[in-house]
Amino acid sequence: MRSYRLFGVGRFFAPVFLLLPFVVPAQETQPENLPLLTMEDLVYEGAFRVPSDPGGFSSMNYSVGPLAFYPAHNSIFIIGHTYEQAMIEFAIPALVDSPLTSSLNMAGPPLTPFTTVLDRPSGGAPENIDMIGGMAVIGSEILINAFEYYDAPGNNTVSTLVFRDASNIGSCQVDGYFRYANAPPAHQSGWISPIPPEWQEKLGGDFITGHSSGWPIISRLSVGPSAFAFNSSSIIGNSSVPDPVPTVTLLDFDLDNPLASDLYNESGTNDLWTHLSRAAYGLIVPGTRTYLTLGYSGGHHSGVCYKCRGCGGYCAIDPDDYSQYFWLWDLNDLVAVKNGIIPSYSVRPYAYGPFSTPAWPVEFGGGTYDPATGRMYLTLLDADRDQGTYANPPIVIAYTFRNSLCNIVLNPSSYEAPSSGGSSSFTVNIGSGSCPDPSYTARTDTAWVQIVDGESGNATGVVTYAVDPNDTAETRSGFISIDSGAGESAVHQISQAAGDEEPTEPVITEIVSETSRRGAKATIKGTGFGTKIKNVNIYFGTKKAKNISKVSETQITLRIPKLKKGIFEVKVIVEGQTSNTVFFQIR
C-alpha cells in the first residue's frame, strides 16, 4: 500500500495522518476554505501519439517535452528534438485509454511546421540560452521560458520571450528576452500555468512561473519546486515590457535552504527530494487550494552517488530506484509567504510520494492546462518506441480532476466563424454529481453574437447562438461565458474571419529623428497605420526594420536599421497595403 508524507496547514513540520476528502459547503466557499486535492482525485482520460518525423528541419525524437495548449485550434504547440529546440503545432486527436502504444491515435500532419524559437528575437539568443523550460498560450500570444542548460558560472540574467501571434508563429514578431524579478532566472524559467480567478488577488497575479533543480549546476537552481506569481498583462499585448517583470515569490528554495538537506540520502530516510528530483510542471488545481507539482525522482531507497556505475553525473545506487513523483502544496501556506509571514523555503508539501501513470513509467517533460475542459496534458519523454528502431518521440497523456468543485466542461470550447456569419452550438457539462449547485446561465457581451437557445440549464445542456456577418477588414474575437450557480465560469471562444472591405492605404507624411543615425529613435508620421505592431512592416530600401516599439493610426515609433550612411526609400506596409515612398538619409 502506498504511503504519503502529510503536513498540516500552516504547521509546516507537524505530521497529520489523514487526507480529508473534498467537502463542499452549499454556501459560497472562500478560497482559503476550498478542499485539498489528493492524488486519487486525478482521473486519467487517455493519451495520444505524435509522429516522430513530421517533416521539416527537426523531429520529435529526443524531445524535452514542453508544450502549450492552444484553444483556438484545439491543438498543442510542442518542442521537438533537444538539438534544435524548434516548435511545432499538432491538432489533438481523440484520446484513447489504453496502455498499448499501438492502440493510441496518432496526431495528424502538423497544423504549423517546425519553426525556430530561441534565436527569433532581434538580438538572437543571449547568454548561451539553449533550452526551453516551459510555455503557455495566453490570449493570442505564446509566452516561453528558456535557460542555459549548463550555466556553470550561474550568470544568466534573462529567461523569457513572447511570440506575438500564435496563429502565425513562422513569421510573427517575437520579443524578448525579458527577466522576472525576485530570483535568479534559473529559479523561474520552467513551467507557466494559470492561476484560477478566485486565487489571483490572494496570490498577486494571474499566472505562475516555476522551475526546480534536477538540471546541471544545482547552485543556480531552486532546490525544490518554485512558484512565482505575475500578471501576464506585463508582457502579453504590451510593447513596453517592464524590466524586470514584477513577480511575487510564493515558493522558492536554494542550496543553503533546500527542500531536503540530505540530497544524497545518506541517511536512507529522505523520501522528499534528492539530487535526482526534478519537477516538470506545476498547476493550481481549480476548485481546490492545492498547488500540484509533478516530476521524477530517485535514490529514495538506495541513495544517490556521483559518477558511479559509469553514469555521467548523479545517479541512484540501485539503477531501478527511480519513479514518477508528486508534491502537493497548500495554497494557504503560499499566501503566508506572499504576506511575509513565513519565508518561502520553510513551506513543506502536505503530501508527496511516487506517482504512476497507467503505462510508460518514464520522466515527465512538461505540462499544460485547458480550463475549458479541465484537462491537464503531460508529456512522457522517450515513451513511443513503436515508430522505428531509433525513434523515441514523447507520448501525450491527459488527466482531469475529480470533485474539482463544479468543473465546467464545454464541447467544443471554441468556434471559428466565417466572415458571412451563421450559427453554432456547444454542450455544457458541470461537475460529476457532487456539485452543490450545477445550475448555469449563458451570457455574452459580444455585440455580434446572439444566444438563440439554452440561456440557462442545470448540470447539462446545449447553448445555440448566431453570429452576425463581419463587414470589417479585421478578424475579431468574442465569447460566451457559462456561469455556474457555485460561482465557477468557463468561456466558449468565438473568432471570426475578416470581411471583404479593403483596408485604407497607409500614407507617410514625414519621418522625424533627432540624429538620423542608425540605431537611433525615429518617428514616421502619417495616416492609416492601424494600432497593431504585428500588422506593420517597414522597409528602408530592401532592409526590413525590426525594432518597432509603438504603432498608432498616425505615428510609428521605431529604431533606424543599422545600415550604411546614405539615402534610402522608406515605405510602410500595413496588412498588405503599401504606402507612398519617402526618402530618408541615414547619417
- How would residue 111 be classed by pLDDT, with cut points 50, 70 and 90? very high
CATH no. for residue 563?
Answer: 2.60.40.10
pLDDT at site 438? 85
Do 212 and 322 lie in one domain? The reply is: yes
Do 420 and 298 lie in one domain? The reply is: no
pLDDT at site 503? 62
> Is the predicted pLDDT of residue 14 greater than 60, yes or no?
no
Do 397 and 313 lie in one domain? The reply is: yes
Do 222 and 358 lie in one domain? The reply is: yes
Residue 357 burial (CB count, 10 A): 20
Do 147 and 255 lie in one domain? The reply is: yes
The answer as to whether 284 is a domain residue is yes
Phi, psi angle pair for 335, to nearest 5°: -65, -40
> Is the predicted pLDDT of residue 18 greater than 50, yes or no?
no
Mean pLDDT of the region 241-268: 97
Q: Which of 496, 519, 550 is the last residue of a domain?
A: 496
The number of distinct structural domains making up the chain is 3
| 41: Cα within 13 Å, side-chain hemisphere | 25
Do 418 and 349 lie in one domain? The reply is: no
Do 130 and 199 lie in one domain? The reply is: yes
Cα 123 to chain center, whole Å? 23
Burial class (CB in 10 A: 0-12, 13-18, 19+), 244: middle
List the 192-194 sheet strands across, edge first. Answer: 192-194, 207-209, 227-230, 248-251
Mean pLDDT of the region 373-380: 94
Burial class (CB in 10 A: 0-12, 13-18, 19+), 498: middle
Alpha carbons 188 and 184: distance in angstroms, whole number: 7
The answer as to whether 190 is a domain residue is yes
Mean pLDDT of the region 39-56: 95
Q: Which of 434, 464, 496 is the last residue of a domain?
A: 496
- How would residue 131 be classed by pLDDT, with cut points 50, 70 and 90? very high
The answer as to whether 26 is a domain residue is no
Phi-psi region of 73 (alpha: psi -120 to 50; beta: other; left: phi over 0): alpha
Alpha carbons 76 and 95: distance in angstroms, whole number: 14
pLDDT at site 429? 81
* pLDDT tens per residue, range 293-311: 999 999 999 999 999 988 8
The answer as to whether 224 is a domain residue is yes
* pLDDT tens per residue, range 570-581: 999 998 899 999
- As a 3-state breakdown, the chain gives helix, strand, coil percent values, each rounded to 5, of 5, 40, 55
Amino acid at 196: P
Domain of 573 in residue numbering reads as 507-586
Do 390 and 415 lie in one domain? The reply is: no
> Is the predicted pLDDT of residue 20 greater than 90, yes or no?
no
Mean pLDDT of the region 116-142: 96
* pLDDT tens per residue, range 445-482: 999 999 999 999 998 899 999 999 998 888 898 999 99
Q: Which of 496, 530, 558 is the last residue of a domain?
A: 496
pLDDT at site 413? 82
Q: Which residues pair with 295 in a beta bridge?
A: 279, 325
Do 211 and 340 lie in one domain? The reply is: yes
